[in-house]
Amino acid sequence: MSVRRTAPRVTQIAGPALPAISFAARLPAAICPIGTLLMLTELRGIGAAGVAAGMLWSGQAVGGPFLGRCADRRGHRPVILVASLANAAAIALFVASALTAMPFVVQAALAGAVGLTVPQIGPLSRTRWVVLTEPGDDQDQAAAKELTRRALSFDTSVDEVSFMAGPALAGVMVVLIAPEAGLVLAGLLIAVFGTLFALHPTAPAGTPAEAASQARLLHPALVVLFGMALLQGMIWGSANAGTSALSEHLGNTGMAGFVWGAMAVTSSLAGLLITVRPVALEVTLQLRIAISAQAVLLLPLLAVGGFPAATAAVAGIGLAVAPHLTALFSLAEQAAPLERMGEAMALLGSGLIVGQGISALAAGQLAQHSGSAGYHSAFVLTCASGAVAVAVACVFVRPGIFPRRTAGVSPAAATDSAASASASASAATPTSH
């Protein structure tokens, strides 16, 4: 498949509107943590802001798999619609509690409610691509699997761009308007675009409870992938904390966001490159190579002492992130039952979040108690997390533990929804051959 035809072929599956809608619907998840930190730092101080942001992340990690399971059982449309409106309401109440100086315990609880109701657009978007590219009995299985990998790589790029744009939007809104402006924007975006994502024709219907109960989720392969997601989150969390500590050491804390954004730029570019020219490797091998390359690319962090070097090092790391995440979610698609795909994808998303939270806390403490250049200690934790991830991948990520799903196990309703969406998209866009 040529470079010129690849992007149209991927977007043609669901129509051009879905990527744009899912991008806008993902922005609130990227805006809310930094928006919470910015708002409460201004209104109550950094200590309270950190606690509230931690509550938000914890709520998202706990609520993600539950919402994924509900979406698998009841269908994407009702679950995402309810979660989007509930999330918008929770954001509004959280902002109101901060502006009216309610007791901090109330503010923290509402921050947790914001996290619990995050509609899981990213994991459920990946689930939707898996359903849409699921091969039928009369299709070329290898070609269909390649298309799935391309679609997941494309979706990873959308994710990376959203998590680069979200914090930047939050910062601009806070600087130009008010401390709460970023969160207000997040509430409006999720109310509008979360609803559009829920109502899009590609939304799969639910799976009968009997069929879902027979589909085993916690296969050893998925446990290994959760561990890989946890370690990737630890790499991000500790590197982010180290970048913040470096910025504080250099007397310009605002630069941390710009330095960290370099990773999202290179990672999204790498993801798009994989979309148009997929890596001709078995997926487990791609994951092992990507995580090993990332571990090597982490090492320059140990030598940084200024913003240019830190930006270059963080940008280099991003080159391996998208290949790793693409392989990670491709293996999840391969190992998890289609009837519980949303729950599986959300579980891996929770692993990324939990890993970030644990390592950010640990790295922050290391940096704080390690003298003026404590950021070096945080980056040591980053490199150690990368080394452990390589060891886990080399020992456990092997083709034998990732049995390939057979075609035709998708729920009939979901398949009909996917076929309908593909047909309507094909009618609107000329088919690429």
SS (H, E, C) 331-346: HHHHHCCHHHHHHHHH
For residue 61, tell me if it sits in a domain.
Answer: yes
- The Cα 202–Cα 197 span in angstroms is 9
How many CB atoms sit inside 10 A of residue 144's CB?
15
Domain final residue pick, 162, 185, 206: 206
More reliable by pLDDT, 88 or 239: 88
Q: Are residues 181 and 247 in the same domain?
A: no
| 230 neighbors 359 (Cβ within 8 angstroms) | no
| 67 neighbors 119 (Cβ within 8 angstroms) | yes
For residue 7, tell me if it sits in a domain.
Answer: no
Q: Are residues 266 and 409 in the same domain?
A: yes
Res. 119: pLDDT tops 80: yes
Q: Find, among 71, 32, 64, the residue nearest to 417 by Cα.
A: 71
Q: Are residues 262 and 360 in the same domain?
A: yes
Q: Are residues 188 and 240 in the same domain?
A: no
For residue 433, tell me if it sits in a domain.
Answer: no
Q: Across residues 198-213, what is the average pLDDT?
A: 75
Q: Find, among 121, 119, 60, the residue nearest to 87 by Cα.
A: 119
Residue 417 amino acid letter: S
Q: Are residues 168 and 25 in the same domain?
A: yes
For residue 110, tell me if it sits in a domain.
Answer: yes
For residue 5, tell me if it sits in a domain.
Answer: no
What is the pTM (predicted TM-score) of this model?
0.78
| 301 neighbors 242 (Cβ within 8 angstroms) | yes
How many CB atoms sit inside 10 A of residue 109's CB?
17
* pLDDT per position as a tens digit, 240-282: 888 888 887 888 766 777 787 788 888 888 887 877 776 667 8
DSSP 75: -
For residue 1, tell me if it sits in a domain.
Answer: no
Q: Are residues 265 and 218 in the same domain?
A: yes
- The Cα 129–Cα 216 span in angstroms is 21
Structure tokens at 432: 């690429």
Report the pLDDT value the prediction gives residue 382, as an integer from 0 to 100.
94
Q: Are residues 197 and 240 in the same domain?
A: no
Q: Are residues 258 and 333 in the same domain?
A: yes
Domain count for the chain: 2
Q: Cα 191 vs. chain centroid, distance in angstroms?
A: 20
| 214 neighbors 49 (Cβ within 8 angstroms) | no
Report the pLDDT value the prediction gives residue 278, as an integer from 0 to 100.
65
The residues near 308 (Cβ < 8 Å, ≥ 6 apart) are none
Element (H, E) at 79: helix 76-99
CATH no. for residue 399? 1.20.1250.20
Which structural domain, as residue segments, surrounds residue 363? 211-415
Q: Are residues 107 and 227 in the same domain?
A: no
Place of tokens 């090492």: 299
Q: Are residues 202 and 230 in the same domain?
A: no
CA torsion through residues 315, 320, 323, 327, sign:
negative
- The Cα 227–Cα 251 span in angstroms is 36
Domain final residue pick, 174, 206, 238: 206
Q: Across residues 46-68, what is the average pLDDT?
A: 83
For residue 426, tell me if it sits in a domain.
Answer: no
Report the pLDDT value the prediction gives residue 10, as an integer from 0 to 100.
63
Domain final residue pick, 186, 206, 226: 206
Report the pLDDT value the prediction gives residue 400, as an integer from 0 to 100.
72
- The Cα 386–Cα 363 span in angstroms is 14
More reliable by pLDDT, 8 or 204: 204
- Structural Rg of the chain based on CA atoms: 21
- The Cα 24–Cα 347 span in angstroms is 22
Q: Are residues 266 and 325 in the same domain?
A: yes
Q: Across residues 328-337, what is the average pLDDT?
A: 83
Report the pLDDT value the prediction gives residue 51, as an integer from 0 to 100.
81
| 58 neighbors 109 (Cβ within 8 angstroms) | no
Per-residue pLDDT band for 184 (boundaries 50, 70, 90) equals very high
For residue 432, tell me if it sits in a domain.
Answer: no
Q: Are residues 167 and 263 in the same domain?
A: no
* pLDDT per position as a tens digit, 279-332: 667 889 989 999 999 999 999 999 998 989 999 999 999 999 988 998 898 888
Helices vs. strands in the chain: H and E counts, helices first:
16, 0
DSSP 278: -
Q: Find, among 362, 341, 339, 343, the residue nearest to 351 by Cα.
A: 343
Res. 189: pLDDT tops 90: yes
